[in-house]
Structure 1
Amino acid sequence: MNPEATRLTPFGDGATLATLERDGFRVCVTNRGAALVSLVFPDGTDVVLGYGDGAGYRDDGYYMGPVVGRYANRIAGGRFDLNGHTWTLDPNEGANQLHGGPDGFGRRDWSLDTDATNGHPAVRLTLDSPHLDQGFPGRVSAEALYELEPGGLLRLTLTAASDRPTVVSLTSHAYLNLAGGGTVAGHEMRLYARRYTPLDGA
């Protein structure tokens, strides 16, 4: 791997920006929330909506770009049952918990490592979450691995491990506009998923 393919720079407000480059594509990721900041095509079009510095990601109410968790989406009433025990969570949307709570994974500074895997420019971000963090059981170690593969393929692999039964649902909350600006009303997206989570009124 070319050592110039991944570089780190200050991103303001104590955050760090990792820039991955390959085949004319440029990807920027910050340790603040493990957020995807930009994905720039060879023609200069940036298809990711984000902020210009780390401060924007600190208290972002729109969750633009971070990895959210411990549990993405809403947990109605801020509680859930697991193995006969009811766990009460820290709410942050009325009585509900949204995207892991008031101090969810998308609000935190992750540890960052630029070691590449498989010869691709890459950045690996890790975060440890203690037992009862935001009300969740179990100590969780989370990892987000961004890899820039040939032809501009951006691969994000999210993993988590816990020391006891718990619930974990990590996702990227990136906002994309394939035109680089304007409305997304005419865009179509296809998701290749074996399962999905239906929503109710909570």
Structure 2
Amino acid sequence: MEVIEDVFGEIDGKMVKSYTVKNGAGMEFTCIEYGCIITKIIVPDKDGVKENVVLGFDTIEEYKDHSQYFGAVIGRTSGRIKNAAFTLDGKAYTLAKNEGGNSLHGGIDGFHNLVWDSSYESNSSGARITFTYKSPDGEEGFPGELDMQVIYTINDANELIISYRGMSDKKTVVNVTNHSYFNLSGNLKRTVLSHELRVKSDRFLELDSSFIPTGKTIPVENTVFDFRKSQEVGHGIDSNDPQIELVGGGYDHPFLLTTNNQNEICLRDPESGRMLQVETDEPCVVVYSGNSLETDFQIRGVQSQKHLGICLETQAPPNMINTPGFPSAILKANEVYSTRTKYTFALIEEK
């Protein structure tokens, strides 16, 4: 397994390393210390043509200016926290506000906007890239000094395994995910609207006008949110479903998973023949169909546009610290936060 360490750029005088892993099955994976961002995943199509299947940039400056969280690790909490506030053991905490009056994706300088420490190891069976960061007590308003570790493992089965591990010296809230935008067409040849998605979920969470879960679950049956059988991502985009219209014509919703670690999410692009299978121990996946992608920049020479990528954010449901009756992503002092998601890139089997 080949690992190439390089310099990607510089932030505030600090060098940002990149790591590129090449396996024996035609997969190439690149990530950087800034935000633990996955910048490229190159895999072959049905004709053996190797192309990139995630949205990303080649410079630090582009990530700072246009990223929309492309490929980044999100924390301490993914999604939105209503009014940028929560109460824990009777004590009120106020978070950094970076989307109106709410906190989004960990705040202004969340995990996505930091330079992590890194190391790597490899052998004949795989490669591991380990990122570490010590988040100080009070950072972005969150209590506790939190030691975080993110590990990317790549093997010859074209699997990417992301493992998250954390420990805090105080009771706190942790809900981490990866925000990669996938496009299996290869090198962004078309939008993801013709991609086919299957999610093992029979209920999704209703959103309020700020795109924050209300706590109400809605059955997917007889709605455009029913992906229990494979459906084109675009099949519900033009519907008049109020939840679709709310988020700008698309999906940005938490789906509650009915199984774990059993191929619960599958994304396919019939034209290229590529397929992505996702397995996780998390209770939920936020499906975001790129409804808010801006059009004022390019991504490696391709004009950005709505629905150019789809995010499959495995996590606990957002804002549950403020929603009674749901798992709230609370991490007790000196206990271990640990979760894992596996992404497998393959070809669609011909019938």
Do they fold alike, i.e. is TM over 0.5?
Answer: yes
Q: Is the 8 A contact 1:33 1:57 kept in 2?
A: no
Aligned residue number for residue 7 of structure 2: 10
| Distance in 2 (alpha carbons) for counterparts of 1:119 and 1:191 | 30
Q: Distance in 2 between matches of 1:118 and 1:168?
A: 34
Question: How many aligned residue pairs are there?
Answer: 199
Q: CA deviation at 1:60?
A: 4.1
For 2:95, the equivalent position in structure 1 comes to: 89
- What amino acid sits opposite 2:165 in the alignment? T
Amino acid at match of 1:12: G
Q: 2:34 aligns with which of 32, 35, 47?
A: 32
Cα shift at 1:59: 4.7
Q: State the alpha-carbon separation in 2 of the partners of residues 65 and 90 from structure 1.
A: 22
The answer to whether the Cα contact below 8 Å between 2:125 and 2:156 also exists between their aligned partners in 1 is: no
Secondary structure of 2:126's partner?
Answer: coil
User: Which segments of 5 or more consecutive residues in structure 2 lack a partner in the other structure?
Assistant: 211-351
Residues 1:120 and 2:98 aligned together = no
**Alignment deviations for residues 128-150 of structure 1 (CA, whole Å, 9 cap, x no partner):** 10100000001111111111112
Where does 1:24-173 land on structure 2 (aligned, <5 Å)? Answer: 24-42=26-44, 43-116=49-122, 119-173=125-179
1:178 to 157, 166, 184: 184
CA RMSD of aligned residues (A): 2.2
C-alpha distance 104-120 of structure 1, shift in aligned 2 (>3 A): same
Q: Post-superposition shift, 1:151?
A: 2.1
The answer to whether the Cα contact below 8 Å between 1:59 and 1:107 also exists between their aligned partners in 2 is: no
> Computing the radius of gyration over CA atoms, which structure comes out larger, 1 or 2?
2
Distance (Å, rounded) in 2 between the aligned partners of 1:185 and 1:55: 29
Cα 1:70–1:196 change in 2 (3 A) is: farther
Q: Which structure has more strand as a fraction of its residues?
A: 2
Cα distance in 2, alignment partners of residues 84 and 60 from structure 1? 39
The runs of 5 or more residues in structure 1 that have no matched partner are none
Match of 1:188 in 2: 196
Classify 1:197/1:134 alpha carbon distance in 2 versus 1 (closer, same or farther; 3 Å): farther
Is contact 1:32-1:57 (8 Å) kept? no
TM-superposed CA distance for 1:16, in Å, is 1.3
Deviation at 1:90, TM superposition (A): 1.0
Counting aligned pairs with the same residue, the percent is 32
AA aligned to 1:92 is N
TM-score normalized with structure 1 length: 0.90
Q: Which has the higher contact order (CA 8 A, sep 6+)?
A: 1
Label 1:61 to 1:151 Cα distance change in 2 as closer, same or farther (>3 A).
closer
Checking the alignment, whether the CA contact within 8 Å between 1:6 and 1:122 is kept in structure 2 is no
Counterpart CA distance in 1 for 2:167 and 2:207 is: 26
Q: CA 1:35 to 1:197, structure 2 compared with 1: closer, same or farther past 3 Å?
A: farther
Q: How far apart, CA to CA, are the structure 1 residues paired with 2:165 and 2:200?
A: 19
Amino acid at match of 2:39: V
